[in-house]
Structure 1
Amino acid sequence: MLDRPHGHTAAVRRFNRFYTRAIGILGDTYLTPDFSLTAGRVLYELAHRDGATATALRQDLGIDAGYLSRILADFEKRGFLARTPSRSDRRASELALTEAGRAAFLGLDARSEAEIDGLIASLAPGDRDRLAGAMAEIETLLEPRPDAEPFTLRSHRPGDIGWVVERHGALYAQEYGWDERFEALVAEIAAGFIKTFDPARERCWIAERAGRRVGSVFLVRERDAVAKLRLLLVDPAARGLGLGQRLVAECIAFARQAGYGRLTLWTQRNLDAARHIYAKAGFRMVHSEPYQGIGRDLVSEIWDLDLRAESGSIGPCGSDGCSA
């Protein structure tokens, strides 16, 4: 019996075997008897590129030159492909789909979409999000893009508010020793947001990474000209990624767009990482006083940002932070 690979290599190979079977690419053709998997991918690239060349396709897709040449020749024979002299290199030809070629692509694309829809149809919406997040994480790990953020932001939906309350309660108890009264306070704030939510002037952002919630922030109306930043949270699993800075930046941009003149927030003096983010964003501490009521003696602070002044800059931060 042959020795089998172990550890990470075995896990990747096991996933490859599962996935190729799940999406049905082990046969000679994929989705249609008219195209191999590689030919279908070439057709996709031609439909989404302007001025494509055989050299660029071969390099980007990692296809053997002879195999690609046979695919392109077959496309020409079917009337799918037109060649014109390259505008930048007279030795090369630019490739473009004809009307027949575009029609063939649209049919293949529709079948592909229907196939994937059927594959995930039985999954609950939350599980579909987890699946998409896990796939995005695989892409990020195996082919990292320096300009890509390792998280996504979205608006709230059912289930998120309960997570915000639970995560605040658990995290602050673990890291700062705050008792259940803080969780109750967060619950009151979150419930009030939902009860009176005005989408034109208020917003909740939920951050996700690999399909898992890792952060939140709320922008709520305080008065007609004043908004309040609330419930900034960055999970330990997502710290050091600039998420706290991004969440605060989203609040500031939305507050300006909604027509507020001032943005305020309430925090505690011991939340150093969050205070650093606020200072970088242009907030200034305007009031402080002793605070009790969540299991510790604290010093609460009010920070303000004048939205009519020049935009504050959010620069690099040593770590992300949490704040109520």
Structure 2
Amino acid sequence: MNTTTSKIRSFNRFYTAHLDILSQHYLDSEYSLTEIRILYEISESKTITAQKITEILNLDKGYLSRILKRFLKENLIVKIASDEDKRAFNIKLTDSGNELLSILNTKSENKIDGKIEKLNSSEKEILVNSMHTVRNLLTDNKIAREDIKYRHEITPGDIGYIIHLHGALYGKEYNFSTDFEKYVIKTFYTFLENYSPENDRVWMAEYHNKIVGCVAIVHQPNEEAQLRWFLLDPAFRGLGIGKKLLTDAVNFCKEKQYKNVFLLTTNLQNKALEMYKLAGFELTQSEEVQEWGLTFNEERYDLKLS
């Protein structure tokens, strides 16, 4: 069996049992979880039809019809003829339906509070963010752009984590040896020793307070700047993050009136090379080297700003 599939199934078994949702009587009520979920969807919509409920919850029409008949009999819902289509009916909760849902919502919230009461605030944040990530990855939206935050203030731990990202990503995608991580450490040591908040900047893209992308501008002699450490976690590609980071870096160089921006890269970084070229960088040097366990071309790209 596929390892990923097996792990997801294992989690599903744990989660459904942990939340006590397998019982036919949800929260000691007379109703199943599916029935309560139907009441919830009705309450969330000003107007909703049976057809819409089947689409939202992916339910069999006959199964839903039987549940709605029960709700009508127990005075939990009412059907109101649609103004747009006389053949269709909008469904609304009655006062009894709203009261039942309110009671069960309170019970559910108390039950969840009890499940997480032993967690500290950081652990609760991790839990909620993880759930948000699962939801995004399993929908068409995947990771939402609005969940990505950007900043350029360097805080404790940032540089160490960026070094980790470089070692992990380049090791996985390009099979670079650990000597590459040693090289990145040296470059950051030099950077921090000569760091000028006025002339240098490191931009970071974050997803739920975790760095997923970065780029930096480092001042150099002769009114030049070097673009460094441009990196993006593969899971976050295609969201425009890299383009924004690169644009912000170039705009910063224009603002500081650098005459030229250069970067050093390899011919292996195809995605990044495409972005550099689209931003106006031009190849000025290329030399074959053997480093970090591989043979490749080390390349220099320049962008003239004046």
TM-score per shorter chain, which class?
A: 0.5 to 0.7
| CA distance, structure 2, for counterparts of residue 100 and residue 191 of structure 1 | 69
Residue matched to 1:57: 53
SS of the residue aligned with 2:176? helix
**Which structure's CA Rg is the greater one?**
2
Residue matched to 2:163: 165
| CA distance, structure 2, for counterparts of residue 158 and residue 100 of structure 1 | 55
| CA distance, structure 2, for counterparts of residue 100 and residue 114 of structure 1 | 21
Residue matched to 1:217: 214
SS of the residue aligned with 1:206? strand
Deviation (angstroms), 1:96: 2.7
| Contact 1:216-1:231 at 8 Å conserved across structures | no
Counterpart pick for 1:283 among 262, 280, 284: 280
Cα distance, 1:122–1:149 mapped onto 2, change above 3 Å: same
Deviation (angstroms), 1:89: 2.4
| CA distance, structure 2, for counterparts of residue 276 and residue 21 of structure 1 | 48
| Contact 2:206-2:212 at 8 Å conserved across structures | yes
Pairing 1:149-298 to 2, within 5 Å after superposition? 149=143, 153-154=148-149, 161-169=159-167, 171=169, 174-175=175-176, 178=180, 180-186=182-188, 189=191, 203-206=203-206, 215-218=212-215, 230-235=228-233, 238=234, 243=237, 246-251=240-245, 266-271=262-267, 272-273=269-270, 274-280=272-278, 282-285=279-282, 298=298
| CA distance, structure 2, for counterparts of residue 228 and residue 101 of structure 1 | 65
RMSD of equivalent CA atoms: 5.1
Pairing 1:77-92 to 2, within 5 Å after superposition? 80-92=76-88
SS of the residue aligned with 2:13? helix
Structure 1 gap segments, 5+ residues each: 1-5, 307-324
Q: Deviations over 1:16-68 (max 9, x none)?
A: 43222111112232235254211211122113334311122134424344543
Deviation (angstroms), 1:92: 1.2
Q: Deviations over 1:126-161 (max 9, x none)?
A: 752674367347x62xxx52x545996345787554
Counterpart pick for 1:119 among 100, 115, 118: 115
SS of the residue aligned with 1:283? coil
SS of the residue aligned with 1:175? coil
SS of the residue aligned with 1:31? helix
| Contact 1:161-1:190 at 8 Å conserved across structures | no
Identity over aligned pairs, percent:
25
| CA distance, structure 1, for counterparts of residue 170 and residue 10 of structure 2 | 39
Residue matched to 1:132: 131
* TM-score normalised per structure 2: 0.63
Q: Return the structure number with greater helix share.
A: 2
Structure 2 gap segments, 5+ residues each: 220-224
Cα distance, 1:104–1:162 mapped onto 2, change above 3 Å: farther
Deviation (angstroms), 1:243: 1.1
Cα distance, 1:55–1:245 mapped onto 2, change above 3 Å: closer
Cα distance, 1:305–1:136 mapped onto 2, change above 3 Å: farther
* TM-score normalised per structure 1: 0.60
What amino acid is aligned across from residue 185 of structure 2 in structure 1? E
Q: Deviations over 1:244-263 (max 9, x none)?
A: 772223336767999x7589
Deviation (angstroms), 1:100: 5.7
- Greater RCO between the two (CA within 8 Å, min separation 6)? 1
Residue matched to 2:222: none
What amino acid is aligned across from residue 240 of structure 2 in structure 1? R
Cα distance, 1:233–1:305 mapped onto 2, change above 3 Å: farther
How many residue pairs were aligned? 279
Deviation (angstroms), 1:121: 4.9
